[in-house]
Amino acid sequence: MTTTAELRARQAAAVVDGVATRGIFADRAENSEIWDVEGRRFIDFAAGIAVVNTGHRHPKVMQAVAAQAERFTHTCFHVAPYESYVALAERLNRMAPTGGENRTMLVTTGAEAVENAIKIARAHTGRSGVIAFSGAFHGRTLMGMALTGKVAPYKKGFGPFPAEVFHARFPNAYLGISTDDAIADLEDLFASDVDPSRIAAMIIEPVQGEGGFNIAPPEFLARLKAIAEAHGILLIADEVQAGMGRTGKMFAFEHSGVQPDLVTLAKGLAGGFPLAAVVGRAEIMNAAPRGGLGGTYAGNPLAVAAANAVLDVIEDEGLCERSTVIGQRIMERLTDIASRQGMERIGDVRGVGAMVAMELVEDRTSKKAAPALTNAIVAAAEERGLILLSCGVRANVIRILVPLTIGDDTLEEGLRVLEASIESVFSSTSV
């Protein structure tokens, strides 16, 4: 049997240090559980960073991929297109909440989707400036990093970045940044840094992922949309992490009633297979010149087959509704834990649907970030067989992203492990 220690040594000798990993080497996975190479079982509260919303190896997804593999695995859509790509585009066009007739392009990663959304916005508007927000994460490409509002580890040492990318503040009720504050900051940006007539698009996550699961208030998104329309600016919804049923609706923007012009999708779109998309209003999407969009692997047939199956599973199994139920259960448990004596370092519990987080602080008065405490809880949970992820600009947020197909018993087991992990770390005097 290959051991974890052996694989760690081989990784250190073969893989660059910049590719950070955890200590779990996966051997197999099923629904909401992973087994490592030494046979240890883990409950997955990460879902591959919101990728396997339909669970690891969902039977319908695996069947669809196997059937496609029997026919062909790659032709390049530019060379020999195929119906499944068109069918997926048709479905996404019907679903995306832009309020108009849509068009779709498929790519491979979330960062690619973001890059292409910016390209399309520039082609349509004839402008070059872009506004993103503090705490944002939009990918690791140069444009993705420029848009990202979190320096460590994503931007540190990798500059210079593309020009004409500006950042405004994202609302954060817990840290006292109101919608009015954020809008005032945007207006100051227009007054002091860039004429709004130069801005092609504003890109925003309705719920920030890496930034700490900060939720954009509906009022903020509505006012952002009004400002965008007043200045001829496009509004891009980055739904890479929050989309595909994760928040209780297919798209997180739907909670606000605001209609973006373009939507980027990835992660949960294809159930673990690499696929991403840009969906938007037809007159905008068609602005790019013929041949200006695409890629060799864009819309890979296996990933497209998986995505069509994922959409079926979300609908057939009511996963949007299931997401709401799961999220309520997790929120209730975390809120209960936070309310107990001795748990005052849980500063905030927040979430929408099954996208839930808790923020760890030194005390609730100062709200000083407690990243060491955060890391200790993640490590303690891993030792007990539970996979958690941290996030946040201050590295002090634990996020919970369970597969939406998780069974009630497994969810409860995972929550018990999480509670025990929190209690064990809080009782320690070393953190």
Other CB atoms within a 10 A radius of the CB of residue 7 amount to: 15
- Give pLDDT, residue 23: 87
Tokens of 146: 């420029």
Place of tokens 């530019």: 78
Residue 125 belongs to some domain of the structure: yes
Domain total of the chain = 2
CATH of the domain at 224: 3.40.640.10
222 class by beta-carbon count within 10 Å (0-12 exposed, 13-18 middle, 19+ buried):
middle
Residue holding tokens 């405490």? 373
pTM of the full structure: 0.97
The Cα–Cα gap between 121 and 133 comes to 17
- Contact by Cβ (8 Å): 169, 187: no
pLDDT for 429:
57
161 shares its domain with 70:
yes
Residue range 4-25: mean pLDDT, rounded: 95
Residue 182 has pLDDT above 70, yes or no: yes
Last residue of a domain, one of 257, 289, 316: 316
Tokens 């520039």 identify what position? 122
Structure-block tokens of residue 419? 């509670």
Mean local confidence (pLDDT), 339-366: 97
Is residue 110 situated within a structural domain? Answer: yes
CA–CA separation, 350 and 208 (whole Å): 12
Q: What is the pLDDT of residues 95-126, one digit of tens each?
A: 999 999 999 999 999 999 999 999 999 999 99
**Judgement on whether residues 42 and 176 belong to the same structural domain of the protein:** no
Q: Which tokens sit at 309?
A: 């199956």
Check residue 152 and give its pLDDT: 87
Q: What is the pLDDT of residues 285-327, one digit of tens each?
A: 999 999 999 999 999 999 999 999 999 999 999 999 999 999 9
Q: List CB contacts of 169: < 8 A, sequence separation 6 or more.
A: 133, 134, 177, 181, 182, 185, 186
| pLDDT of amino acid 244 | 98
Task: Return the axis-axis angle of helices 408-426 and 319-339, rounded to nearest 10°.
Answer: 30
**Looking at the structure, do residues 372 and 281 belong to the same domain, yes or no?**
no
What does the pLDDT look like over 165-176, one tens digit per residue? 999 999 999 999
Whether 170 and 132 share a structural domain: yes
Q: What is the pLDDT of residues 355-384, one digit of tens each?
A: 999 999 999 999 999 999 999 999 999 999
Residues 241 and 368 both lie in one domain: no
177 and 86 together in one domain: yes
CATH number reported for the structural domain that contains residue 348 in this entry: 3.90.1150.10
Q: Are 117 and 193 contained in the same domain? A: yes
Q: What is the mean pLDDT of residues 329-334?
A: 98
Amino acid of residue 110:
G
Phi-psi region of 289 (alpha: psi -120 to 50; beta: other; left: phi over 0): beta
Q: Which domain holds residue 300?
A: 62-316
**Residues 195-254: pLDDT tens digits?**
999 999 999 999 999 999 999 999 999 999 999 999 999 999 999 999 999 999 999 999
- Is the pLDDT at 430 greater than 60? The verdict is no
Q: Cα angle at 82 between 81 and 85, to 5 degrees?
A: 100
Is the pLDDT at 431 greater than 80? The verdict is no
Average pLDDT on 59-88 reads 98
Q: Is there a single domain that holds both residue 128 and residue 252?
A: yes
Mean pLDDT of the chain: 97
Tell me whether strands 262-265 and 41-44 are parallel, antiparallel or unpaired. unpaired
pLDDT of residue 183: 98
Q: Do the Cβ atoms of 211 and 392 come closer than 8 Å?
A: yes
Name the domain boundary from 266, 297, 316: 316
